[in-house]
Structure 1
């Protein structure tokens, strides 16, 4: 099967050696995504806004790969403070209320920048037409 690497254009992709998303066949894996837009962190101290921003970025990446949020079967949500699970969950539900992918929400010690609060990975499987 053909492999397609989808880039966001972030400088970190070449430095670290990764793609925003990778599509092989009808499967799209989206890398851990944070609320950095054009080099700036969106939603400092705001778990809800960071989660919404991340999910919109994931949606945009899926679109570039020929998929959509409707194709997402799994999300993994990494958070720096699990006490904000309701805010994070509310933003997640705004995208996935009717889709209901399998998910995990995991509290971690830190992300790469202390102002980042949420990082999300996604797996999508494009159903044959």
Structure 2
């Protein structure tokens, strides 16, 4: 089994629940679902802005683990209202349209906090030509 490198925990919940927001195993980086919470704890009511924040976090984690957004090969997007699909897809295009990874967008019943409208996870393969 290859060595795993994890980003440092960002909240006590990660330790309590036993999960990692992002890790690298070999040349593969896997980023857990991210929600659009800003650094100050606020959440925009706009799903597109939440998605932009999700992609900014994904970029940060991928880069911390030695990758680039160009290495992203798969994205999964979850929205609580399918009416937000176009706004979230636009954020996907801004962040990764030039890379053209696989992508899935599905509507779900709810996320953990009612203000969260979107959650996004990603996978990257570093050094894959």
Question: Same fold per TM (> 0.5)?
Answer: yes
Number of aligned residues? 128
Instruction: Compute the RMSD of aligned alpha carbons.
Output: 1.4
Structure 2 partner of 1:55: 55
Structure 2 partner of 1:31: 32
Cα deviation for residue 107 of structure 1 reads 0.3
Structure 2 partner of 1:71: 71
Residues in 2 aligned to 1:78 and 1:8: alpha-carbon distance in whole angstroms = 23
Structure 1 partner of 2:87: 87
What TM-score do the two structures reach when normalised by structure 1?
0.93
What TM-score do the two structures reach when normalised by structure 2?
0.93
Which aligned runs of 4 or more in structure 1 are off by greater than 4 angstroms? none
Residues in 1 aligned to 2:46 and 2:128: alpha-carbon distance in whole angstroms = 38
Which blocks of at least 5 consecutive residues in structure 2 are unaligned?
A: none
Residues in 1 aligned to 2:97 and 2:58: alpha-carbon distance in whole angstroms = 16
Cα deviation for residue 16 of structure 1 reads 1.4
Structure 1 partner of 2:125: 125
**In terms of mean alpha carbon deviation, does 69-78 or 8-17 score higher?**
8-17
How far does the alpha carbon of each residue in 1:37-70 deviate from its partner, in whole angstroms, 9 at most, with x for none? 3461331x20110000000000000010000111
How far does the alpha carbon of each residue in 1:20-50 deviate from its partner, in whole angstroms, 9 at most, with x for none? 101010000000111123461331x201100
Is the 1:41–1:115 contact (alpha carbons within 8 Å) kept by the matching residues of 2?
A: no
- Pair 1:55–1:108, CA change in 2 (3 A): same
How far does the alpha carbon of each residue in 1:62-116 deviate from its partner, in whole angstroms, 9 at most, with x for none? 0100001110000000100011111111111001111011010010000000000
Is the 2:9–2:15 contact (alpha carbons within 8 Å) kept by the matching residues of 1?
A: no
Structure 2 partner of 1:110: 110
